[in-house]
Amino acid sequence: MRPFLRATHRARLAPVGWVAEPAGVWAGRRVEVVYDPNRHQIALVRSDPGDRTRAALAAAGFRRLAVDGTQEMWVRNLAEAPQTARERVTVLDDRRVERSDAGHADVAPVSARSVGHTAGPGRVEGRGV
């Protein structure tokens, strides 16, 4: 089973071992994302990330799961993502730093956050990052 978005209803339960956390407004209604925190890492991108950031997320093992206008939800299955990919992206304040084998770093702005964490504008944080 993979993570999913659903309308926010307090009476609904998540599958055993999974959590439901607020994910904001999608398609004009409040939703929550339901996922297994031990298996999945979720990144919610609130504005158009651009091709460069999309490529970096994909290279780190994330797959785009949902889109609403410029918002995107990306998920990474931690059991399938190689450890090296998990360590390739580091986030510092409002910049994403990608490390290459040569020790160079490419810096690009990013506007995203992972659910369950409070982050400032243009900052990515999450479980396993």
Domain ranges of the chain: 37-113
CA triple 11-75-25, angle to 5 deg: 50
Q: Do 70 and 47 form a contact (C-beta atoms < 8 A)?
A: yes
Calpha distance 98→114 (Å, rounded)? 18
β-pair partners for 110: none
| Length reported for the chain | 129
Lowest model confidence (mean pLDDT) among 5-14, 39-48, 61-70: 5-14
16-56 tens-digit pLDDT: 999 999 999 998 999 999 999 999 999 999 999 999 999 99
pLDDT at 9: 75
pLDDT at 79: 86
85-112 tens-digit pLDDT: 555 544 444 444 444 333 333 433 334 4
pLDDT at 23: 92
Q: Do 98 and 56 form a contact (C-beta atoms < 8 A)?
A: yes
pLDDT at 83: 60
Q: Do 113 and 125 form a contact (C-beta atoms < 8 A)?
A: yes
